C-alpha cells in the first residue's frame, strides 16, 4: 500500500513539474522543450504488470496531450517508451525473482546501464514526438535541432531529478 501511495505522489509531483514549472518556463523556446513526464513510466517498480504499465502510459500520455493541445502524440510516445522499458527490463534481468519491487535507478542497475536506459528512453520519446510532427508538417533542419536539443535537455532534467530525489533500491522492496 505504501508503494501505491508513493507512486501517486510521484505522479502528481512529476505532472506538477511538467505542467506548471516547465511549460511556463520553456514555452517561448524555439529549439528545445524538456519533457520529464514520462519519467513516471520509467521509474515504476520493475515487477509492475505489463498491461497495467501500458494502460498507465496511455492514460498519462492522453492527459499530457490535453495539456499540450495535441491529439495522440504523447499517448503514442508514452506507450512506445513503456514497450522499450519492458524489453529493457527483460533483457537486463533474466531471473524474475530479482525484480521484487525494485525501481530503475543507479543502485538497481549499474551506472552505465541506467544511463543508457535513460538516454535511450529520452531518444525514443523525442523521436516519436518529432517523427509525428515531421509527418504532420515537413522534415526540416529545425525539426532535427528540436529533436537533438529536446533529447539533451530531457536527459539532463531526468538525471537531475534522479539525483535530487534519490531513489534507493531496497533489499526488502520498501
Do 56 and 41 contact (CB within 8 A), yes or no?
A: yes
Q: Is residue 27 part of a domain?
A: no
pTM: 0.84
Q: How does pLDDT run across 11-41, given as a tens digit for each residue?
A: 999 999 888 888 777 655 656 788 999 999 9
Flag whether 41 is in a domain: yes
Q: Does 100 reside within a domain?
A: yes
Q: Is residue 64 situated within a structural domain? A: yes
The sign of the CA dihedral 125, 130, 131, 135 is: positive
Give the number of domains in the chain.
1
The length of the chain, given as a count of residues: 174
**Is residue 171, in this structure, part of any structural domain at all?**
no
- Domain of residue 16, residue span: 2-20+35-164
Summarised one tens digit per residue, pLDDT across range 74-103 is 999 999 999 999 999 888 877 776 677 678
Amino acid at each position: 500500500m505504501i508503494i501505491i501511495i508513493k507512486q501517486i505522489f510521484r505522479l502528481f509531483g512529476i505532472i506538477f513539474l511538467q505542467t506548471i514549472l516547465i511549460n511556463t518556463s520553456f514555452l517561448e523556446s524555439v529549439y528545445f522543450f524538456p519533457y520529464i513526464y514520462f519519467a513516471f513510466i520509467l521509474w515504476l517498480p520493475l515487477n509492475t504488470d505489463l498491461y497495467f504499465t501500458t494502460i498507465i502510459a496511455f492514460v498519462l500520455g492522453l492527459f499530457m496531450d490535453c495539456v499540450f493541445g495535441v491529439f495522440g502524440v504523447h499517448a503514442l510516445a508514452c506507450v512506445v517508451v513503456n514497450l522499450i522499458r519492458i524489453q529493457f527490463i527483460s533483457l537486463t534481468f533474466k531471473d524474475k525473482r530479482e525484480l521484487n519491487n525494485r525501481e530503475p535507478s543507479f543502485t538497481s542497475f549499474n551506472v552505465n546501464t541506467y544511463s543508457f536506459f535513460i538516454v535511450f528512453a529520452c531518444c525514443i520519446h523525442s523521436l516519436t514526438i518529432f517523427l509525428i510532427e515531421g509527418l504532420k508538417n515537413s522534415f526540416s533542419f529545425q525539426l532535427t535541432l528540436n529533436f537533438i536539443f529536446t533529447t539533451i535537455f530531457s536527459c539532463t532534467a531526468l538525471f537531475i531529478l534522479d539525483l535530487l530525489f534519490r531513489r534507493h533500491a531496497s533489499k526488502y522492496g520498501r
